[in-house]
Structure 1
Amino acid sequence: MIDADALAREVVEPGTPGLAGVVAEFGEDIVDAEGRLDRARLGAIVFAEPDRREALNAIIHPRVRERAAAMLATAKPGDIVVQDIPLLVETGQGSSFHLVVVVDATDEERIRRMTEIRRMTVEDAVSRMAAQAGRDERLAAADIVLDNSGTVEDVNELVETLWEERLAPFARNLAAGRPAPRAGGPVLSPPNSDWPVQAERLLARIRRASPEVLGADHIGSTAVPCLPAKDVIDLQVSVSSLEAADRIARALGEAGFPLQEASARDAPKPPDLDPSAWQKRFHRSADPGRPANVHVRVLGSPGWRYALLFRDWLRANSDAVRMYADMKQELAALHGGDHRTLEYAEAKEPWFTEVAWPLMDAWARSSGWQPPSYPMAQG
């Protein structure tokens, strides 16, 4: 357990360089008669003056991160490290972690607790909250939300379930370098407006994993509004070569996406293209609570282009969405009793080649569609 609040207190204990920095910035009267930081006085200043709060953060945050990194370095493979960071959203650190857990309560309940338990005035409580990320921002950053509006016993029960059903198996999968197991036939979920938000959190971790990641995109059915889909996020990672894909395999695994197949090959959708040009590397999420597929493809390759064109064609054509949804529903019903989804995926291939490809190719030509470009790839 790495508690950022506790570390923030440690780094400004009497005699520390941190406290000396605070005194130099805020003056001698920021310490009490015993030479300790007067937190009430400091809080009144920094929560009223944003510029002063930034000055304090510039002193405290680097020291806290240094101490946290030293503690993290002592963790053993398979350990679960929980970092409690009140300002995680404000400091943009979410992509540094395998999961972000937000402990949530309504603003009204937070104010009640601050005034009744901590004896703060309503004005001070509201000022503290205004100086931090809003509730919507925190929830958008969360892979997991724990409802803390009830009793301590209620939230403890939620934590126990989270630990046993998600965190512990996730840690075991990471230590073993294996994806989370999946079983069962295809089950289509209704369109979910949160899929793109979830995908962006995963993409941020992937982009951070290696400088050889030239680009990363949300693809597949969950990237298309109004389209039912299996609750599996598909992501595409762009690299310069298959050799680069092999070099980043370990980094992707450490980020939470272990290698599933080292020499996967897409079924070529346009029939006139060489199947050997459709090579990729295939990773899957180690997190049992968020299934995800990661397709690592060479920038500009046929498979890379097809995945992006198919997504954008569907986004631009409601008739195509309806046609694809009808086909998916029919095949999902046919293969619903399967023990895996491979047969369902293979059954879709003729539609991709014979129906989708001519239509999407014609749309690309008529619309002037171009795949995305990435600043890192251009540099």
Structure 2
Amino acid sequence: MLRVGLTGGIGSGKSAVAARLAQLGAVVVDSDRIAREVVAPGSEGLAEIVTTFGAGVLAPDGSLDRPALGALVFGDEAARRRLEAITHPRVRARSAELAAAAPPDAVVVNDVPLLVEVGLAPTYHLVVVVQTAPEIRLARLSRDRGMSRAEAERRIAAQTDDVRRRAAADVVLANDATLDDLHAAVDALWHERLLPYEENLREQRVVRTRQVRLAEPDATWPQQYERLAARIRHALAPVDVRVDHIGSTSIPGLPAKDVIDVQLAVPSLDEADGVLAERLAAAGFPRFPGQWWDSPRTPGGESWPKRLHGSADPGRPVHLHVRETDSPGWRYALLMRDHLRADPEQRAAYLAMKRAVAAATPDSVGYALAKEPWFDEEQVRAEEWAARTGWRP
């Protein structure tokens, strides 16, 4: 199943997105509803809250007096964290139960208000953030929830800011216009990305880019890499792995194919073929079929075997190169990246070569083969630079 994390600040319209996704066929797991369930009268969660904060947080009927509890924890960081330590584990456990009960081909959407704050982003295949201008959020909170402006501002300030949410987001849905506009954006997301992603994930099918088009530098490429790397590390935990951003998108200011190249270092390729490969596939990084090697950069050298995984997400092509730590291919990928980062002249030469090759051989296979002579020369230059500077991978 495809696991989607949905979040957004209070008043952003996240619930409207969740409702639309449910209409389209998603299995929505509502953390707010579960949060109420785990502190219902007679629950262990409510009993622990009373023990921690006192009987003053109970209403006359024995239920949780939410305004009374809110008055204690909002604005008091230590109190808020004590409350979260009681409720969050219970909410996560119940959410996991509901997700596990969904069909194997389901798109499970976890509606989690504090997804970013509690660091849950790497646990999902995709994170969707609903973003709305602050003034619109304040107006909605006043109109729909009867909050004063001061109270609404306090609630917004208690959550993380939009900058951190965007950094965690694979998809940002703007909700500054009409409900029809929001529904249109959700519908497009569902049909163009979520459904194909789920099918690719289930079939362990990799998204391929067959035509080469050089995109202008994207300042968010490093941020996108960080999200991918966090998912990879989470998928392979508790094993501690080295993950690196390599390739053209790792070199600031360099136009490149809009494909994020990631390198995963492993002790041996035999290990990469077992549980590791299964975990990567389950996390959205299936293995490319066939056998893969890096071409030798020295005359008469042996080929360097590797494993190549990709992405099941149609919105984010990825090449995940799995290489043995300290192998020639592993070292060269890091050396080339660092040399081109450090040498503007060679970076410009590399770009000129890429543009010429892309114009002449726009298919991805021909493009890769046509670049190899330049890489042969680049290895000599890069090794000289490494010896001169004392570079180490």
- TM-score, structure 1 as length reference: 0.94
Q: Unaligned 5+ residue runs, structure 1?
A: 372-379
2:202 to 175, 181, 193: 175
Whichever residue aligns with residue 158 of structure 1, its letter is A
Would the alpha carbon gap of residues 305 and 128 (structure 1) be closer, same or farther in structure 2, given more than 3 Å must change?
same
1:255 alignment counterpart: 283
**Offset at 1:113?**
1.3
Is the CA contact (8 Å cut-off) linking 1:186 and 1:230 kept in structure 2? yes
2:332 alignment counterpart: 306
2:230 alignment counterpart: 204
Give the Cα–Cα distance (whole angstroms) in 2 for the partners of residues 67 and 22 of structure 1: 18
Give the Cα–Cα distance (whole angstroms) in 2 for the partners of residues 40 and 76 of structure 1: 38
Give the Cα–Cα distance (whole angstroms) in 1 for the partners of residues 199 and 387 of structure 2: 48
1:237 alignment counterpart: 264
Is the CA contact (8 Å cut-off) linking 2:209 and 2:364 kept in structure 1? no
Give the Cα–Cα distance (whole angstroms) in 2 for the partners of residues 226 and 181 of structure 1: 24
**Offset at 1:158?**
0.7
Give the Cα–Cα distance (whole angstroms) in 2 for the partners of residues 57 and 273 of structure 1: 58
1:360 alignment counterpart: 382
**Pairing 1:85–2:115 present:** no
**Offset at 1:271?**
3.0
Whichever residue aligns with residue 318 of structure 1, its letter is P
Give the Cα–Cα distance (whole angstroms) in 2 for the partners of residues 312 and 261 of structure 1: 30
**Offset at 1:181?**
4.1
Would the alpha carbon gap of residues 271 and 133 (structure 1) be closer, same or farther in structure 2, given more than 3 Å must change?
farther
Give the Cα–Cα distance (whole angstroms) in 2 for the partners of residues 285 and 231 of structure 1: 13
Is the CA contact (8 Å cut-off) linking 2:40 and 2:63 kept in structure 1? yes
Is the CA contact (8 Å cut-off) linking 1:285 and 1:291 kept in structure 2? yes
2:162 to 119, 124, 135: 135
**Offset at 1:262?**
4.9
**Offset at 1:36?**
1.1
Aligned-CA RMSD value: 1.2
**Offset at 1:180?**
2.2
**Offset at 1:272?**
5.4
2:371 alignment counterpart: 348
**Pairing 1:221–2:224 present:** no
Give the Cα–Cα distance (whole angstroms) in 1 for the partners of residues 299 and 193 of structure 2: 42
Give the Cα–Cα distance (whole angstroms) in 1 for the partners of residues 242 and 176 of structure 2: 40
Is the CA contact (8 Å cut-off) linking 2:310 and 2:319 kept in structure 1? yes
1:271 to 295, 299, 303: 299
1:44 alignment counterpart: 71
Look up the SS of the partner of 2:391 in the other structure: coil
Look up the SS of the partner of 2:231 in the other structure: helix
Give the Cα–Cα distance (whole angstroms) in 2 for the partners of residues 221 and 181 of structure 1: 17
Give the Cα–Cα distance (whole angstroms) in 1 for the partners of residues 143 and 180 of structure 2: 20
Whichever residue aligns with residue 392 of structure 2, its letter is Q
2:353 alignment counterpart: 327
Give the Cα–Cα distance (whole angstroms) in 1 for the partners of residues 133 and 187 of structure 2: 22
1:21 to 41, 48, 61: 48
Would the alpha carbon gap of residues 209 and 22 (structure 1) be closer, same or farther in structure 2, given more than 3 Å must change?
same
2:11 alignment counterpart: none
**Offset at 1:326?**
0.4
Return 248-257 or 108-117, whichever deviates more.
108-117
Point out which structure has higher relative CO (alpha carbons under 8 A, 6+ apart): 2
Give the Cα–Cα distance (whole angstroms) in 2 for the partners of residues 261 and 297 of structure 1: 16
1:9 alignment counterpart: 36
Whichever residue aligns with residue 351 of structure 1, its letter is W
2:392 alignment counterpart: 370
Whichever residue aligns with residue 341 of structure 1, its letter is S
Look up the SS of the partner of 1:265 in the other structure: strand
1:63 alignment counterpart: 90
Q: In the TM superposition, what are the counterparts of 1:144-163 in structure 2 within 5 Å?
A: 144-163=171-190
Is the CA contact (8 Å cut-off) linking 1:170 and 1:180 kept in structure 2? no
Return 223-232 or 118-127, whichever deviates more.
118-127
Give the Cα–Cα distance (whole angstroms) in 1 for the partners of residues 85 and 291 of structure 2: 47
2:25 alignment counterpart: none
Give the Cα–Cα distance (whole angstroms) in 2 for the partners of residues 262 and 76 of structure 1: 30
Look up the SS of the partner of 1:35 in the other structure: coil
Between the two proteins, the alignment pairs up a number of residues equal to 364
CA distances 1:253-287 after superposition (whole Å, capped 9, x unpaired): 01101010352101112335322xx1000011000
Is the CA contact (8 Å cut-off) linking 1:242 and 1:297 kept in structure 2? yes
CA distances 1:184-222 after superposition (whole Å, capped 9, x unpaired): x21000111100100110011111111446211110000
Give the Cα–Cα distance (whole angstroms) in 2 for the partners of residues 249 and 18 of structure 1: 39
